[in-house]
Structure 1
Amino acid sequence: MDNTAPYKATLEATLTELQTRLSRIERDLDEPHDPDSSERAVQMEDDDSLEAQARLVSREIASTRQALGRIASGEYGQCVQCGEEISEGRLNARPEAALCITCAQKG
């Protein structure tokens, strides 16, 4: 891919936003629970949701970092599975995409 600069800028901005979001989630998870047992039960349920969100955001961070690594190595825009070019439309929609649409649909 010839011009990766716009994708790199988008990915860097996304990475910053995701890291900020993960920091907020981690801060929320670090808050002490209320000593009241009924309130603590609700907080523990909220923690389960926050932990799931943290896992999802962490995976998104990893995908974004991998895409930035592919830019740095000159492999951005090539499917990591089949080696074919990933369409510009797919990269515009998902700049972190590592698979072409055909490989992504396979699964």
Structure 2
Amino acid sequence: MAYEALKTELEQRLAAMQKRLASIKADVTQEHSGDSAEQAQERENDEVVDAIGNETRLSLHDIQVALDKLADGTYGLCESCGSDIGEGRLKAIPEATRCVSCADA
């Protein structure tokens, strides 16, 4: 299976996630309001933004691992059993590291 289209998609997703993370970092570093009621709301918002940032960092890691596997020739192989992950699964989840059988187990 040729992975060029998936590689391009992964690279585009990586760039989008990096941009998203930069935006999140900019939001987190903004100063808070002087009003205590607004500060409480801003702190709640900070928690949500922080959670989104953590999810974004995890996605960045998964995408980078997939790109590294493409580079070293191990992309598309299940890390659990060593079988092919399957074209359909990789098209749906390009950063998948396990075949359907192992992912369900």
| TM-score, normalization by structure 1 | 0.96
Q: Report the counterpart of residue 29 of structure 2 in structure 1.
A: 30
Q: Report the counterpart of residue 97 of structure 1 in structure 2.
A: 96
- What is the alpha-carbon distance in structure 1 between the residues aligned to residue 36 and residue 47 of structure 2? 17
Q: Report the counterpart of residue 59 of structure 2 in structure 1.
A: 60
Select between 35-44 and 97-106 the one with higher mean Cα deviation: 97-106
Over aligned residue pairs, what C-alpha RMSD do you find? 0.7
Say how many residue pairs are matched.
Answer: 105
Q: Report the counterpart of residue 17 of structure 1 in structure 2.
A: 16
- Alignment deviations for residues 42-98 of structure 1 (CA, whole Å, 9 cap, x no partner): 000000000000000000000000000000010010001110000111000000101
- What is the alpha-carbon distance in structure 2 between the residues aligned to residue 49 and residue 102 of structure 1? 34
Q: Which runs of 5+ in 2 are unaligned?
A: none
Structure 1 runs of 4+ aligned residues shifted over 4 Å read: none
> Identical aligned pairs, as a percentage?
36
Q: Report the counterpart of residue 71 of structure 1 in structure 2.
A: 70
Q: Which runs of 5+ in 1 are unaligned?
A: none
Q: Report the counterpart of residue 80 of structure 2 in structure 1.
A: 81
Q: Using the TM superposition, give the Cα deviation of residue 3 of structure 1 relative to its aligned residue in structure 2, in angstroms.
A: 1.1
- What is the alpha-carbon distance in structure 2 between the residues aligned to residue 18 and residue 49 of structure 1? 17
